[in-house]
Structures are given as structure tokens and as C-alpha cells.
Homo-oligomer: A and B are copies of this chain.
Amino acid sequence: MALEGVRAGFRNEAGIAAVLGILRQAFGERFQTGQAMREQHAHTTTYLPAQLPDGVVFVETAQEVQDVVRTCAAHKVPIIPFGTGSSLEGQVNAAAGGISIDFSRMNRVLEVNAEDLDCTVEPGVTREQLNEYLRDTGLFFPIDPGANASIGGMTATRASGTNAVRYGTMKDNVLAVTAVMANGEEIRTARRARKSSAGYDLTRLMVGAEGTLGVLTSITLRLQGIPEMIAGGVCGFATLKDAASAVITTIQMGIPVARIELLNDAQVAACNAYSGLSLAVQPTLFVEFHGTAETVRLQSEQFAEIVAENGGGAFEWSTDAAARAKLWKARHNAYYSAKALIPGMAALSTDVCVPISRFADCVAETEADIIENGFTAPIVGHAGDGNFHVLVLFDDKNPAEIARVEDFCVRLNARALAMDGTCTGEHGIGQGKQPFLIEELGASVHVMRQIKRALDPDNIMNPGKIFTLD
């Protein structure tokens, strides 16, 4: 089922040959067709088979993006935008060949408007690079998927991460984009005003479109003031349900928690081993509060009461930056810590998201499924959003094991959909989740296809992602 979007379909060999010649001439050394380079730009993070582009062009300006798009459009050759390659659902695979546009040299911060709490960046800027750049301004950009992803890629997949419970996802933090559309025209989707009712929300349409409607050339982001004080801590619970209940109460009471992450015991053990933590191996919450000295104290105390009511252990919180950094580094390395449990195995990261009232049930039923089927598959979740990841380890050379993992994913997604949830809280559909998208949204997918056909009639913009057209 996962191969729905991978069907290679038609390769336009004549067009591809023509484009290779033109780009080689135009970009010289900045256009590469070597096997290693092409492999590096095809998707290998999950068990989806890699599908190599025919060439990789390292663009440096929006004008160059426009030139590449026009060249590819003239010859009906696919375009696959590439940030850092950390997407998880085959988004950078070249299902029908074509040209990978690498944004690593298009990574300038174009403008910071500190007074307006916004900035404009090129797509290749990474989230860590941006926060490094912003440090002296007293501002930061809160969205933090585990990887040091590019802002372009994060925009394209509607990424979020641990801070989303407080600061929202990319949908909430992108004010505007510029993009080159399939007809070669560059558009700007909005001005810098905080809100607008000026026509269709093309900003939000481009956020999460996975490059299938146009190629981003700049992104205008909302920024946040660095909190005066950050407090955080850890607490363990006897059961997953107790931990999840504490999360639900926290959200329902409107405590403005900045991060609230749930790790099951398998994930805690993995983090202990990989990141040198020494936590008790039990369902555990990692929590963080942002505010002033007074408000983080108030919030931490309120939260401690909720923990106690739900049978949790002592909630010890502190404002110590080093301890906090170690904790959240371990959290961000959860994927690698899981992979390290059985070296040499492939890993699949799921990301269903359900209404918060169903979160405890969904996680508990999923853990029971994992145990019953003997998977090595820690669970870690953005609990405040009702979103969690199962990191399933398996031998991707073994068809029977792949089939078992696929069956597990079918059960997991069916469970989330039955709870009125989504198959993807933050990774996107890519190639891997296309059947689930159809189950989730039905006729809406038909509307998506109509939009795609209208804006990209030759299907050159990252074809085969989100849905297939035939």
C-alpha cells in the first residue's frame, strides 16, 4: 500500500535529455549529474525505495529558480525542490526522474524586522542557522522538528515539533511566501500585515503543498520574543494513561505550556542509553514553560498539582539552562536513540494526531498492538497536540517484515481516523501515506487534484507526491 505514490509512470526521456544539456551549459559546476550526488538527493531516510533525479542544480537566486522552472516547463520535465533531505515520506524522491533543485546555497536571511517580530529568509536557511542569526535581536523562531531542517522544507511539509502546543505549526508562523509557479511566474502570496482578508489564502495553500504547486523562493516568518525565563522538568507516571491524563488536564485548563512531550518506557530506556540520561524507566513527561520568573513559577506549580492528581511522581522543575539543553537534545535525538536499539535496522516514524480527549486511548491501544506483535517500537509524542510518533524498527530487506510493518501502520491509521484524527500531524503525505489521505478526507482529495491540475497542468511540480493524478 505504501507504494501508491511511487509508481514511476512516464519518464520523459527526450525532455530530460534536453534539460540536462541546457542546465549544464547555464550552471556549469553548479549542475551535477554524478551518481553519488543524485543518490544523496533521493530519499533514503525511510524504507521507501530511493528514486534518483537526473540532475541536481545548486541555485543561488530566485531568478535562477525561475530560469530552471521555465526550462523544465518548456520540456515538461519534473522539478523536485530539495532542502536538507530530512523529510520522512519520500517527498524528495524523483518518481518520474527530473531535476532536483538544491537550496543549500540559497540560504540568506533577507530581512529581519525586529519591531514587527518577523523576518524573510531564503528556503535553504535552516532553523538552527536562523536562530543563531537572530540571537542578538532577542527574538527566536520556535518551530523545531527534530532535524535541523530547512525553512523551505518545513514550509512545504507544514512541519511543527515540540513547541507547537504553544506557538503553532508552520501554518501559523508563515506570514507570506514568494514562489515560482509552473508557468514560470513568481508570485507573492501576502504582504507583512499580521492579518488580512485579501482573497484566497494562498499562503496557507503553499504551506504543506510539498512542492507540488510551486517552488518557494522566500518565506516570511513570524518571530517570538525570547522568553525572559524558561523553566522545565521531567516527571514519571505509573501508566501511559495517567501521563496522558495529566496532559489533557493541562491543555484543558489553558495552562500555556511551551512543550509537553510524552515518552513511553521503551523510549525512556532508549534515551537513557543513547543520550546518557538516567531517568526511571516508566512513562514520562518532558515539560517546559516560557514566561517571566513569576509566570513560569505559577505555571510550574499548577502543573505539579495536576501531576499529583494523576498519580505522577514528584515534578521537579528548574530554570537551569544546561540541564534543559541536555534534556531537549535527548528528546530531539529520540529517532536516533530508537535506531540505536538494533543497529542496522531501518526505522519508520509514524505521526498520527488525534483530538486530545482520545490521546490516552490512542497511545495505549497502539502500545498494546506493539507489544502483542513483538515490535521494537518506542513511542514519543507531542502530547499537547494529540500527536505521537511510533519509531518502528525493522529489516527492510525482509518482505515479510515490511508487510507486518505496513499492516501495523494500517491499524494505527485506522485507529486514529476512527477517533476523528489525522494520519499525519506533521510529516506530510509524500509517497508513503497516500491511501490514508484518501481514507481521511475522501472527496476533498478530488478538490486537491483539481487545484493541482489547474496550477500545474503538465504535472511537473514534484509529481506523484500527496496524490497521483491518474
Contacts and interface: CB of A to CB of B under 8 A. Distances in A.
Interface of A: 113, 115-118, 157-160, 164, 168-169, 171-172, 181, 185-202, 204-205, 207-209, 213, 224-225, 227, 248, 251-254, 292, 294-295, 298, 351, 353-357, 385-387, 416-417, 420-429, 433, 436-437, 440-448, 450-451, 453-455, 466-467
A141 to B, nearest CB: 14
Nearest to A256: B256
9 contacts: A159-B197, A191-B420, A191-B421, A196-B424, A198-B422, A198-B433, A204-B204, A447-B455, A451-B454
Contact of A441 (B192, B199, B253, B254): B199
Contacts of A298: 292, 294-295
B116 A194 contact: no
A92 to B, nearest CB: 15
B446 A193 contact: no
A75 B454 CA distance: 24
B424 A115 contact: no
A252 B118 CA distance: 11
A118 B194 CA distance: 24
Contact of A195 (B190, B387, B433): B387
B448 A454 contact: no
Given A204-B171, A248-B115, A253-B225, A158 B197 contact: yes
Ranked nearest first, the 7 interchain pairs of A and B with the lowest CB-CB distance are: A454-B454, A204-B204, A115-B357, A196-B422, A193-B353, A225-B254, A116-B355
B356 A115 contact: yes
A189 B357 contact: no
A121 B117 CA distance: 35
A205 B204 contact: yes
B451 A455 contact: yes
Q: How many copies does the complex hold?
A: 2
A86 B63 CA distance: 45
A253 B429 CA distance: 38
Nearest to A185: B443
A422 to B, nearest CB: 4
Contact of A447 (B117, B181, B353, B448): B181
Contacts of A254: 224-225, 227
Contact of A187 (B181, B252, B351, B444): B444
A400 B360 CA distance: 66
Contacts of A118: 355
A455 to B, nearest CB: 6
B447 A354 contact: no
A422 B437 CA distance: 34
A197 B428 contact: yes
A228 to B, nearest CB: 9
A191 B422 contact: yes
A355 B194 contact: yes
Contacts of A117: 251-252, 356
Contacts of A197: 157-159, 208, 351, 422, 424-429
A429 B185 CA distance: 24
Contacts of A424: 196-198
A113 B251 CA distance: 14
Contacts of A355: 113, 115-116, 118, 192-194
Contacts of A186: 443
A421 B192 contact: yes
Nearest to A456: B450
A187 B442 contact: yes
B450 A455 contact: yes
Contacts of A295: 295, 298
A190 B447 contact: no
A437 B191 contact: no
Given A193-B355, A193-B420, A417-B191, A209 B200 contact: yes
Nearest to A181: B447
A126 B450 CA distance: 32
A416 B115 CA distance: 17
A14 to B, nearest CB: 28
Contacts of A191: 417, 420-422, 440
Given A200-B213, A295-B298, 11 more contacts: A188-B441, A188-B443, A191-B417, A194-B356, A196-B424, A197-B422, A197-B429, A198-B429, A199-B444, A204-B204, A205-B205
